[in-house]
Structure formats: structure tokens, C-alpha cells
Chains A and B, each alone.
Chain A
Amino acid sequence: MPLDDLSDLPEEALLARYAAGDRMAARVLVLRLSPRLLSYVYRLLRDRAEAEDVVQEALLRLWRMAPAWRPGEARVTTWLYRVATNLVTDRQRARQRRRVAALEDAPEPADSAPGAVAQLIEADRMAALEAALACLPERQRQAVILRHLEGLSNPEIATILEIGVEAVESLTARGKRALAAALAGQRAELGYEDEEALP
């Protein structure tokens, strides 16, 4: 089947075709899923090589899962986000263990650190946002990114993070407040004061 005919199909249908041996379905799924997933994982890890490893592993698990996939039970994207989030969490814990081992006496970084954000004097808006996001606690960061950058609904995020919808609401609200506080001092630096002054 030509690529154009497959491009309108939902991921679940494409996965069923993949499991039936359709190579074009594999191609469409890779092209459709990998950019979004890579962006999400990169936002969490801030390391491209590591983000690529996680995406590769998450997709490999999806391919292995494909023959046993039961339609209607979960959305492919939600399932992938959950797998990727868990892989990222594992990597961040491993990173933390390495950091603790290397700097046993060094103080732990604070959860919200406006000072760290302020150090990014030359950073642009996206870099400032990324840095502020990096200062959030892990779960808050995941919830804020999924809600405000990936545009997922609260129930979807609840499924991905394996928590309740109310917990998602609380995480995103606290995360957003912490981000606003962290970026407050950079308003002029990021050019928002100038924009408001314009007629």
C-alpha cells in the first residue's frame, strides 16, 4: 500500500499492519512517532544522545509488543510516553547515583533554584524555559511537559505517570507556579517587558 494511503490511519491500525508484516506501516510509524517522542525525551534528559537511546529502546519495545497488542486497551502514543518516561526515570536515577558517587560531599541541588536560572545570562527564551524546567522535581517536570508542551489531557498524563488525575492537576499547578517564580527575574532579559511596552 502506498505511503499516502497509510498516513491517515491511526497508530493502532498501523501497528496491526506492522504485526502483519507490512513494512510500509513500520516506516510510517517511525516517521510519525519518533520526532514527538524524541522532543519529549530530550526535554526531560537534555542530552540528545541519551534521548535517542531512550527513543530507540521505547520503539523496540513497541515492535516486540505489536503482535500481542490488543486494540482499544490503550493508545499507542500514551503507551509509548509511559515506556519512555519510565526509561528516563531509570536513567535519571542512574545519573543521580553517579553524581552522588563522584561528589559525595557536594550539596544536593535545590528543587527550585532561581539562582541557577539567573546564571543563564546569554540564554534565549527556550534555553531559559529548559533550564527552569530542569530545576523542577522529576514528577512535576514530567507532568508540566506532558501537559503544556506535549498538549496531552490530564487523564492521559495520569495513565502515563500511573497516578490519579487529581495528582496530575496538583503536579502541573505546582510545577507551573515554580516555573513562573523561577523565570520572574528574567522578564526583561527575555524581552517580555519590551513587548508589553509596544502599542
Chain B
Amino acid sequence: MTRPAEDPRDDMLNALFSQAKDQVMAPSPEFLGRLLEEAYAAQPVVAPQPHPHPHVARAEPRLRHWLRRLAPPAGLATAGLAGFWLGFAQPAALMAPVVSLGDAVAGTGEVLEMVDLIPSLDGWLSEG
């Protein structure tokens, strides 16, 4: 099977395409300058990481070390103080936050009705 003869017009057209393909328009320096200016202006600004003062930078590891050592005793001391206050405080002082909560929720000065979530087991244990 023979290939059909190619149209000579196609040869001319392909030659023109090939010639035109190589011709890339060079942007002028002014135009490139404008494009770059716009590219910089539209570029997102990524904030650089702030560098600490040299004295602070030197002291930072020691500070972190001491904070790490102080954390457990500080937690223990806080827990101890809270336990001490709960043990010795008067009931009225303990009820004050509950009354305040009643004010906030119901708008009255009354104490919120409390539900005993762990009822006594005495009723179940009575013999009969």
C-alpha cells in the first residue's frame, strides 16, 4: 500500500511553523523590571524568627533546667495547700461558690438543690 502523496502546501506550512516556533519574543528590560517589581510586591512575607538577646539566649538553657527541677515540688506544694484549705475551711466558706453559681443560673440567692450521687447504703443493708 502506497502512502498518498503529501500536499506540498503542508510542507510549506510545516516549514513556516518550524521557523515561527523558534522565534520567541524577548521581553524588554523595562518590562521584565515591571514584572519583577510586581512579583516582589505580591510575594507573601514570611516573618523571620526573632533572635533573642545574647544574654537571654545564654541564660535560657539554665532557666529551662531550673524550671524543670522546680515543677514537681511546685505541684506538690499547690496540692498540699488546696488539701489544707479544704480540711480546715468553714462550711459557709465552702458554700459561697455554690450560692454564687445559683445566682448566676437562677438569678436567686438560693443554694442550688444538690443531688446525692452516692446515696447511703444503709437502706439496702437493713435486715427484715
Contacts and interface: CB of A to CB of B under 8 A. Distances in A.
Interface of A: 18-21, 23, 26-27, 29-31, 34-36, 38-39, 42, 48, 51-52, 55-56, 59-60, 63-64, 66-67, 125-126, 128-129, 148-151, 176, 179-181, 183-184, 187, 190, 192, 196
B21 interface: yes
Given A29-B39, A148-B21, A190-B12, A34 B45 contact: no
A104 B19 CA distance: 39
B53 interface: no
Contacts, number: 99
Interface residues of B, number: 31
A99 to B, nearest CB: 25
A63 B42 CA distance: 6
16 contacts: A34-B32, A38-B27, A42-B25, A51-B25, A55-B35, A60-B42, A63-B39, A125-B16, A129-B17, A148-B21, A149-B17, A176-B10, A180-B12, A183-B13, A190-B12, A192-B15
Contacts of A179: 13
